[in-house]
């Protein structure tokens, strides 16, 4: 474990050394194993930062309004913290490291997400026209999603839970990308290996290509007729027909597509069907419902995540595997990364990190005061450790936009 105290001490010794330039010191300084294993995308200007490491044991300086408990200090008890002047440089160094890491992660996630949606649009068009789909075209994007989530790039979850599209059929491509990201995150929570993560991601990405054969129904804004529902029930079979033409596709992808169907309203039948389903099918089934509820559709507006979760849990969540449901709550959260909340301090914050086991107490970044005015310096808070502050309620992004426009 790399502690901030170690980073600060190392930085302080480097700055006092007159014999070498800062660049020379960076080149000669040995990195810890956790830093050396970082992907190339996290390197910039000769520095290597790992946000997840930096935030495990310490936080950047926060406003005096929040009194952090002693356990949050990056220093051991009795260890000298130096004077304010002596610590100003190292603290700035840590803050810059965190900001650099956040910027890199955001840019990397946006690039991966854009490529996933673009790829999905192309595949949907090929499925619609009957053109041959080549499996290798998807490998790179899905591997990048797995790599990003494995290294803790939570910005991918932000995009999967909050990104919106304008085109009437654009939501289908975004849905493919969103489901892949969310399913892989659940798979990581289940601790499945990378080979299986890839097959899970592929299965989620391709699980309902049959919608391309019934676009008139899935983009309909009116109430669906019995005839429309008959067409929707044909989607799994149509999806399998399309997938069977893709060379070298793993059998589990076909299995998930085949089992991706409407389930009976009878509870006993639901439980029996769930037990027979492939484990990947159970994940994709839950992710599909959550993604659909939390994103706009031609016939309805999106739900807030906590509303979607309440609907899913209604009746005990019998339609879904309980372990997968628990992981959805733990890893995606009642307040997913990227969502807005109002705190007991009356301030508005954006969720930036989930805390498994404590879905009601995520990590947040306080950005606006109680009147919607931007803070001079955003404040990061881990609500699992700052127990004096809690979430009062979730806030829709459009409400935040109204507040900021009012104070512009």
CATH of the domain at 291: 1.10.3210.10
Backbone angles phi, psi at 381, to 5 degrees: -135, 135
Instruction: Based on the fold, state whether residues 254 and 311 are members of the same structural domain.
Output: yes
Residue-wise over 40-69: b if at least 16 C-beta within 10 A, else e? Answer: ebbeeeeebbbbebbbebbbbebeeeeeee
Instruction: Based on the fold, state whether residues 287 and 197 are members of the same structural domain.
Output: yes
Last residue of a domain, one of 101, 135, 154: 101
Instruction: Based on the fold, state whether residues 324 and 397 are members of the same structural domain.
Output: no
Instruction: Based on the fold, state whether residues 165 and 312 are members of the same structural domain.
Output: yes
Instruction: Based on the fold, state whether residues 157 and 28 are members of the same structural domain.
Output: no
Last residue of a domain, one of 101, 120, 141: 101
In the block, tokens 């956790």 appear at: 34
Instruction: Based on the fold, state whether residues 156 and 281 are members of the same structural domain.
Output: yes
pLDDT at 100: 55
Instruction: Based on the fold, state whether residues 160 and 229 are members of the same structural domain.
Output: yes
pLDDT at 134: 81
Q: By C-alpha distance, which of 328, 333, 391, 382 is closest to 359?
A: 333
One pLDDT digit (tens) per residue for the chain, 408 residues:
444 555 455 555 555 555 444 344 334 434 333 333 344 444 444 433 333 333 333 444 433 333 333 333 333 333 444 444 444 555 555 455 555 577 788 899 999 999 999 999 999 999 999 888 887 778 999 999 999 999 988 889 888 987 666 555 588 999 999 999 999 999 999 999 999 999 999 999 999 899 999 888 888 888 888 888 888 889 999 999 999 998 888 999 999 998 876 554 545 555 666 778 899 999 999 999 899 888 888 777 888 887 888 888 875 556 788 899 889 988 887 888 888 999 999 999 999 888 888 888 999 999 999 888 999 899 999 999 999 999 999 898 888 888 888 876
Instruction: Based on the fold, state whether residues 347 and 273 are members of the same structural domain.
Output: no
Instruction: Based on the fold, state whether residues 247 and 134 are members of the same structural domain.
Output: yes
Instruction: Based on the fold, state whether residues 15 and 60 are members of the same structural domain.
Output: yes
Residue ranges in 82-135 assigned as alpha helix (H)? 84-129
Q: Which domain holds residue 93?
A: 4-101
Q: By C-alpha distance, which of 108, 113, 88, 111 is closest to 44?
A: 108
Is residue 174 a contact partner of residue 165, using CB atoms and an 8 Å limit?
yes
| Helix, strand or coil, per DSSP, at residue 38 | coil
d(CA 218, CA 228): 9
Is residue 331 a contact partner of residue 151, using CB atoms and an 8 Å limit?
no
pLDDT at 169: 59
Last residue of a domain, one of 76, 101, 126: 101
pLDDT at 233: 87
What is the pTM (predicted TM-score) of this model? Answer: 0.69
d(CA 152, CA 156): 9
Domains held by the chain: number: 3
pLDDT at 292: 87
Q: By C-alpha distance, which of 377, 399, 389 is closest to 95?
A: 377
Contacts of 269 (CB under 8 A, 6+ apart): 263
Give Dmax (Cα) for the chain: 80
Neighbours of 33 (CB within 10 A): 7
d(CA 181, CA 144): 10
In the block, tokens 């498994």 appear at: 356
Instruction: Based on the fold, state whether residues 205 and 326 are members of the same structural domain.
Output: yes
By residue count, the chain amounts to: 408
Instruction: Based on the fold, state whether residues 286 and 320 are members of the same structural domain.
Output: yes
Q: By C-alpha distance, which of 144, 147, 159 is closest to 110?
A: 159
């Amino acid at each position: 474990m790399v502690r901030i105290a170690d980073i600060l001490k190392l930085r302080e010794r480097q700055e006092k050394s007159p014999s070498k330039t800062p660049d020379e010191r960076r080149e000669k300084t040995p990195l810890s194993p956790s830093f050396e294993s970082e992907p190339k995308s996290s390197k910039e200007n000769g520095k290597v930062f790992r946000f997840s490491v930096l935030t495990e044991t310490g936080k950047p300086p926060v406003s005096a309004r929040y009194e952090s408990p002693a356990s949050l200090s990056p220093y051991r008890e009795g260890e000298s913290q130096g004077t304010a002047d002596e610590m100003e440089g190292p603290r700035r160094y840590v803050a810059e490291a965190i900001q650099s890491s956040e910027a890199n992660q955001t840019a990397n996630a946006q690039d991966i997400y854009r490529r996933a949606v673009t790829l999905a649009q192309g595949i949907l068009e090929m499925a619609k026209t009957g053109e041959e789909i080549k499996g290798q075209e998807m490998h790179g994007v899905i591997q990048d999603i797995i790599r990003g989530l494995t290294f803790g790039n939570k910005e991918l979850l932000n995009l999967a839970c909050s990104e919106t599209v304008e085109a009437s059929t654009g939501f289908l491509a975004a849905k493919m990308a969103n489901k892949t990201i969310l399913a892989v995150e659940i798979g990581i929570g289940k601790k499945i290996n990378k080979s299986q993560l890839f097959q899970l991601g592929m299965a989620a990405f391709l699980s309902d290509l049959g919608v391309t054969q019934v676009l008139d129904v899935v983009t309909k804004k009116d109430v669906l007729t019995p005839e429309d529902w008959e067409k929707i029930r044909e989607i799994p079979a149509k999806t399998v027909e399309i997938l069977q033409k893709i060379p070298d596709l793993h059998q589990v992808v076909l299995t998930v597509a085949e089992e991706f169907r409407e389930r009976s309203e009878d509870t006993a039948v639901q439980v029996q069907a769930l037990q027979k389903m492939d484990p990947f099918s159970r994940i994709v089934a839950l992710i599909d419902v959550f993604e659909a509820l939390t994103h706009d559709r031609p016939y309805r507006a999106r739900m807030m995540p906590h509303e979607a979760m309440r609907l899913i849990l209604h009746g005990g969540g019998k339609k879904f595997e309980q372990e997968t449901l628990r992981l959805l709550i733990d890893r995606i959260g009642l307040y997913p990364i990227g969502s807005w909340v109002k705190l007991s301090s009356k301030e508005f914050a954006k969720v930036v990190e989930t805390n498994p086991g404590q879905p009601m107490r995520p990590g947040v970044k306080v950005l606006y005061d109680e009147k919607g005015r931007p803070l001079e310096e955003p404040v990061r808070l881990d609500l699992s450790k700052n127990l004096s502050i809690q979430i009062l309620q979730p806030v829709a992004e459009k409400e935040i936009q109204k507040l900021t426009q009012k104070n512009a």
